[in-house]
């Protein structure tokens, strides 16, 4: 009987263990196979939901909890992936863009790279017009991604050959090519590019677009509010959720203004006490616009106006006009950053945190420290780590280039931001 009792107990224990194991495995399997958490449907679903990481060195130095949204972990390597997806999807939904069409954009780099990355997932192509003073690796990346690239000299936005204006024209040209192709097919004509062996000037201009092009769409990242919506609907809510609503301040630089606008407005709606700030690079007028209500910089003083007032090593941030996106921002103040601070910050973070960041990301971290100094310790501050340093090797991380501009880093700590 004793043996029987032991055996019964063992059997009972085995049964209980089996039942517990079944439920545990079932629960684990259901979680591990959850489409939202583990499986993503192609490239597009891999964009967003980036980690919010504690920047340990800056947090420890300031007494604040400083977090960076690691947007450089998006498939296209930057925060602009979100914008590219939103712009293309809204254009497809509205009918302004169709599969086989060409998305054109004037961009200093990141938005263009993101558009070139995601466009093929929608059956589209990409044509980019880029200022020729942008880091050469950005053009190389774009070409490797299959985009056609046009490099133009930097000029004022009011000039017809500013890279944004050229990109707008290219979209119209793509539409003309598509329209002529449709007419020629309808009429049974020969290929419109070669009629009686002759190629017109118009077709020569549009030769960058293939005969199967279904149209063109100008992404217009500066004025297209899909940019703002990408961050209002995506990045902002993610930050709120990842901090558990425990965020005291947000800071970021602005180029198009979409990121700072979308996130600031969302956070303010969640909690009006959240303070939102701009960090502005040299040559940009946004600092004065936020702090004084006037868009003006010393570079624009009479007799000192420069052909290219953005004499700064940072790329993709700073502007001297108000965009539709930036006007959606809700800001409590602004800080002025310098090239020296951005360079020094990038090296400090690489040395102390292993973070290899691009110029705008470094400037954002300068902003985070300035905010910490302003509001004092014990607060939670969030900024954006826009992209990595991989796209900035020929300028921002090139010792010779930095030496020529008097920007060779020399700090051993955060003394460049008045920290001992």
Q: Are 317 and 360 in contact (CB under 8 A)?
A: yes
Centre a 10 Å sphere on the Cβ of residue 313 and count the other Cβ atoms it contains: 21
148 touches 129 (CB < 8 A): no
Residues 306 and 397 in one domain: yes
Are both 267 and 382 inside the same structural domain? yes
Q: Is residue 377 part of a domain?
A: yes
Rounded Cα distance, 63 and 373, in Å: 10
Cα 109 from chain centre:
10
Same domain (yes/no): 67, 109: no
Per-residue pLDDT at 189: 56
The helix or strand, by DSSP H or E, that contains position 129, with its residue range, turns out to be strand 125-131
Number of domains in the chain: 2
Report the C-alpha gap between 81 and 21 in whole angstroms.
42
The pLDDT value recorded for residue 396 is 94
Give the model's pLDDT for residue 266: 98
Residue 109 has a pLDDT of 77
> The pTM is what?
0.83
Q: Maximum distance among all alpha carbons in the chain?
A: 108
141 in the same domain as 54: no
Length, in residues, of the chain? 420
Per-residue pLDDT at 155: 87
Q: Are 250 and 382 in contact (CB under 8 A)?
A: yes
Does 109 share its domain with 63?
no
Question: Measured between alpha carbons, how far is 326 from 260 in angstroms, rounded to an integer?
Answer: 7
Q: Do residues 279 and 393 share a domain?
A: yes
Residue 220 falls inside a structural domain: no
CA 342 to each of CA 18, 87, 176, 179, 206: distance values in angstroms, whole numbers, following the listed order: 59, 30, 44, 47, 40
Using CA of residue 85, residue 86, residue 87, residue 91, what is the dihedral sign? positive
Question: Domain range holding 391?
Answer: 44-73+235-417
Q: What is the rounded distance in angstroms from the CA atom of residue 26 to the CA atom of residue 214?
A: 49
Beta strands, E only, 26-81:
52-54, 65-70
Is residue 221 situated within a structural domain?
no
Are residues 105 and 59 part of one domain?
no
Q: What is the CATH number of the domain that holds 154?
A: 3.40.50.1100
Separation CA 371–CA 377 (nearest Å): 10
> Which spans in 285-397 are helix H?
286-292, 339-353, 359-375
Would you give the distance in Å from CA 229 to the centre of its chain? 13
Residues 272 and 135 in one domain: no
Helix axes 359-375, 339-353, angle to 10 degrees: 90
Give pLDDT tens digits along the chain (420 positions): 444 444 444 444 444 444 444 444 444 343 444 445 567 789 999 999 999 999 999 999 999 999 999 999 999 999 999 999 999 999 999 999 999 999 999 986 789 999 999 999 999 999 999 988 887 888 899 999 999 999 999 888 889 999 999 999 999 999 988 888 777 766 665 544 443 333 334 444 445 677 778 899 999 999 999 999 999 999 999 999 999 999 999 999 999 999 999 999 999 999 999 999 999 999 899 999 999 998 865 554 444 444 444 468 888 899 988 999 999 999 999 999 999 999 999 999 999 999 999 999 999 999 999 999 999 999 999 999 999 999 899 899 999 999 999 999 999 999 999 886
């Amino acid at each position: 009987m004793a043996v029987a009792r032991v055996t019964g107990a063992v059997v009972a224990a085995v049964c209980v263990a089996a039942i517990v194991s079944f439920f545990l495995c079932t629960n684990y399997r259901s979680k591990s196979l959850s489409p939202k958490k583990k499986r993503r449907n192609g490239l597009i679903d891999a964009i967003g939901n980036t980690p919010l990481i504690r920047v340990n060195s800056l947090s420890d130095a300031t007494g604040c909890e400083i977090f960076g949204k690691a947007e450089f972990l998006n498939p296209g390597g930057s925060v602009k992936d979100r914008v590219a997806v939103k712009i293309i999807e809204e254009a497809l939904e509205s009918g302004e863009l169709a599969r086989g069409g060409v998305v054109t954009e004037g961009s200093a780099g990141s938005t263009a790279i993101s558009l070139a990355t995601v466009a093929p997932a929608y059956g589209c192509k990409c044509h980019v017009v880029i200022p020729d003073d942008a880091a050469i690796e950005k053009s190389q990346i774009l070409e490797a991604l299959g985009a056609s690239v046009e490099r133009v000299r930097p000029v004022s936005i009011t000039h017809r050959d500013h890279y944004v204006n050229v990109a707008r024209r290219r979209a119209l040209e793509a539409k003309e090519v598509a329209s002529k192709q449709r007419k020629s097919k309808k009429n049974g004509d020969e290929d419109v590019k070669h009629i009686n062996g002759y190629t017109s000037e118009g077709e020569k201009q549009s030769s960058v677009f293939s005969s199967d092009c279904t149209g063109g769409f100008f992404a217009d990242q500066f004025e297209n509010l899909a940019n703002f919506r990408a961050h209002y609907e995506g990045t902002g809510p993610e930050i709120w959720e990842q901090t558990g609503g425990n965020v005291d301040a947000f800071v970021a630089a602005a180029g198009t203004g979409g990121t700072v606008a979308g996130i600031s407005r969302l956070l303010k709606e969640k909690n009006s006490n959240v303070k939102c700030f701009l960090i502005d690079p040299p040559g940009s007028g946004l600092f004065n616009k936020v702090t004084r209500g006037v868009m003006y910089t010393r570079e624009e003083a009479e007799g000192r106006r420069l052909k290219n007032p953005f004499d700064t090593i940072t790329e993709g941030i700073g502007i001297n006009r108000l965009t539709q996106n930036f006007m959606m921002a809700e800001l409590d103040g602004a800080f002025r950053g310098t090239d020296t601070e951005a360079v020094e910050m990038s090296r400090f973070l690489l040395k102390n945190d292993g973070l290899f960041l691009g110029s705008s990301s470094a400037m954002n971290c300068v902003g985070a420290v300035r905010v910490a100094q302003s509001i004092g310790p014990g607060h939670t501050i969030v900024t954006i780590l826009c992209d990595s340093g991989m796209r900035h090797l020929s300028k921002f991380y090139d010792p010779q280039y930095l030496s020529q501009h008097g920007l060779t880093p020399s700090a051993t700590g955060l003394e460049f931001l008045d920290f001992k």
